[in-house]
């Protein structure tokens, strides 16, 4: 058995998605910017994909721009809006993904903005009273706070954050990379100006994502050239990726309730088995609280042990794929800025198990058995 539990890093491609993409790899090769028939056919596929994504978010097609993934979309939201609107302040939290933190820190370093960090508690819960204070003190602010944390799984109340931002006329971006395709988003109910998606987090292809920009806001381009994507993001479109993204999102939303129940069941099983098999096991952040964390992510904090440093390596040898920190630094045990910000004990190793619809209860049992074996005291 091989137990793949690194779905917050990336998910396997759904065969139904591959089927939808195949004609655009094998038959429909026209350049979507060309005016002839083969070009127009491919253009139509991109616009249909845009309509599908927009419909699923209750947005307008013109509010969706396709990108190379979540990182690029986060960069667009930060650089594009701060520069276009001439904003001088930004608020974020130390728990954000580097795709948000690094662009904001680059803008701060360049002297374009003053960056303010929101306080949080040891479980990673954001201090919304502090947000209100910061917003009251800084007019015309860019706020970037994620919907769910990729390392510890904490869900943030983006409806409440959006309300506060609206009251203070702030521009609100939320990194929804870990929740698009796993939760429903209705941009008519949310007060956010931007949100982002990445296809490979919901069984779509890698290297494609999207940025939602609320109508009325215009971001400045980061990539200049052929004026594709309404001149926001130039370059010939990743056609089969875009078609795959839309199909993957359609399937994810269609089957959401069934998959959520299945994956939540796997997570509950993980928690119960880990508690039974490993003494002093703990869970980081709100990871073990079902209504406050992603049903797809379980961040496990393990008691200090001589095997801690080689834990992921040993799990890999035992045919269990997991991650030690952020999805994007998957495989690296050290250096999680999120765990550091939470003040986590550096002597305790963290393993993040992230699940998808394709996992089974038998895989959960196998992964826990392998992990427990590594932690069992060696008896002569």
Among residues 69 and 324, whose Cβ is nearest to ligand PLP? Answer: 69
Q: Assign residue 182 a region: left if phi > 0, alpha if psi is -120 to 50, beta otherwise?
A: alpha
355 interacts with ligand PLP by CB under 6 A: no
Residues 187-206 interacting with ligand PLP (rule: CB under 6 A): 198
CA–CA separation, 45 vs 21, rounded Å? Answer: 10
70 interacts with ligand PLP by CB under 6 A: yes
Q: Which residue is nearest to ligand PLP (CB)?
A: 70
CA–CA separation, 332 vs 373, rounded Å? Answer: 21
Using the contact rule CB under 6 A, the part of the chain among 173-181, 250-258, 284-292, 339-347 near ligand PLP is 173-181
- Answer for which of 6, 14, 63, 175 binds ligand PLP (CB under 6 A) is 175
299 interacts with ligand PLP by CB under 6 A: no
Q: Alpha carbon of 328 to those of 8, 98, 153, 263, 336: distances in Å?
A: 9, 9, 15, 22, 11
Q: How many residues at the interface with ligand PLP, by CB under 6 A?
A: 15
92 interacts with ligand PLP by CB under 6 A: no
**Closest CB 240 distance from ligand PLP, rounded Å:** 16
**Closest CB 21 distance from ligand PLP, rounded Å:** 17
CA–CA separation, 20 vs 99, rounded Å? Answer: 29
- The secondary structure of 233-278 as a DSSP string is B-S---HHHHHHHHHHHHHHHHTHHHHHHHHHHHHHHHHHHHHHHS
DSSP state of 65: E
CA–CA separation, 244 vs 240, rounded Å? Answer: 6
244 interacts with ligand PLP by CB under 6 A: no
CA–CA separation, 333 vs 174, rounded Å? Answer: 27
323 interacts with ligand PLP by CB under 6 A: no
Residues 97-126 interacting with ligand PLP (rule: CB under 6 A): 97, 99
Burial (Cβ within 10 Å: 0-12, 13-18, ≥19) of residue 186? exposed
242 interacts with ligand PLP by CB under 6 A: no
Among residues 70 and 103, whose Cβ is nearest to ligand PLP? Answer: 70
User: Which residues in 119-229 belong to E strands, given as ranges?
Assistant: 141-144, 171-174, 194-198, 209-213
- Answer for which of 327, 338, 349, 374 binds ligand PLP (CB under 6 A) is 327
Q: Which residues pair with 368 in a beta bridge?
A: none
Using the contact rule CB under 6 A, the part of the chain among 172-180, 247-255, 289-297, 367-375 near ligand PLP is 172-180
**Closest CB 144 distance from ligand PLP, rounded Å:** 11
80 interacts with ligand PLP by CB under 6 A: no
Q: Assign residue 91 a region: left if phi > 0, alpha if psi is -120 to 50, beta otherwise?
A: beta
**Closest CB 2 distance from ligand PLP, rounded Å:** 21
71 interacts with ligand PLP by CB under 6 A: yes
Contact by Cβ (8 Å): 198, 229? no
Using the contact rule CB under 6 A, the part of the chain among 17-25, 65-73, 137-145, 254-262 near ligand PLP is 65-73
- Answer for which of 65, 92, 150, 359 binds ligand PLP (CB under 6 A) is 150
> 379 CB contacts (<8 Å, ≥6 apart)?
none
Contact by Cβ (8 Å): 89, 136? no
**Closest CB 8 distance from ligand PLP, rounded Å:** 6
Among residues 152 and 177, whose Cβ is nearest to ligand PLP? Answer: 177
- Residue tagged 């042990």 (tokens): 305
178 interacts with ligand PLP by CB under 6 A: yes
Among residues 141 and 330, whose Cβ is nearest to ligand PLP? Answer: 330
- Enzyme catalytic residues: 328
Angle at 87 between CA 210 and CA 79, to 5 degrees: 35
Residues that bind ligand PLP (CB under 6 A): 69-71, 74, 97, 99, 146, 150, 175, 177-178, 198, 209, 327-328
């Amino acid at each position: 058995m091989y137990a793949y539990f690194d779905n917050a890093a990336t998910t396997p491609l759904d065969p139904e998605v591959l089927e939808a993409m195949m004609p655009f790899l094998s038959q429909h090769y026209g350049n979507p910017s060309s005016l002839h028939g083969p070009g127009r056919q491919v253009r139509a596929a991109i616009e249909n994909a845009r309509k599908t994504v927009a419909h699923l978010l209750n947005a307008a097609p013109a509010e969706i721009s396709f990108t190379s993934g979540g990182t690029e979309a986060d960069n667009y939201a930060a650089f594009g809006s701060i520069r276009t609107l001439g904003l001088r302040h930004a608020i974020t939290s130390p728990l954000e993904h580097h795709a948000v933190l690094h662009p904001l820190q680059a803008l701060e370093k360049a002297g374009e903005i003053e960056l303010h960090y929101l306080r949080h508690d040891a479980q990673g819960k954001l201090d919304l009273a502090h947000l209100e204070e910061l917003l009251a003190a800084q007019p015309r602010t860019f706020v970037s706070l994620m919907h769910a944390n990729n390392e510890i799984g904490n869900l943030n109340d983006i409806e409440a954050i959006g309300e506060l931002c609206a009251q203070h006329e702030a521009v609100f971006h939320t990194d929804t990379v870990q929740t698009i395709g796993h939760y429903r988003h209705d941009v008519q109910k949310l007060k956010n100006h931007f949100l982002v998606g990445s296809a490979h987090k919901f069984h779509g292809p890698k290297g494609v994502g999207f940025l939602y920009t609320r109508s009325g806001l215009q971001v400045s381009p980061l990539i200049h050239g052929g004026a594709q994507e309404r001149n926001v993001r130039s370059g010939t479109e990743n056609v089969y990726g875009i078609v795959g993204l839309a199909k993957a999102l359609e399937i994810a939303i269609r089957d959401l309730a069934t998959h959520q129940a299945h994956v939540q069941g796997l997570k509950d099983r993980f928690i119960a088995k880990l508690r039974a098999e490993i003494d002093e096991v703990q869970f980081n952040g709100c990871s073990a609280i079902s209504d406050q964390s992603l049903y797809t992510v379980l961040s496990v904090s393990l008691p200090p042990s001589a095997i801690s440093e080689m834990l992921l390596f040993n799990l890999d040898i035992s045919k269990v794929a997991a991650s030690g920190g952020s999805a994007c630094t998957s495989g690296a045990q050290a250096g999680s800025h999120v765990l550091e910000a939470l003040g986590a004990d550096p002597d305790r190793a963290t393993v993040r198990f992230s699940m998808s619809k394709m996992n089974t209860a038998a895989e959960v049992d196998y992964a826990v058995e392998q992990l427990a074996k590594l932690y069992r005291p060696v008896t002569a």
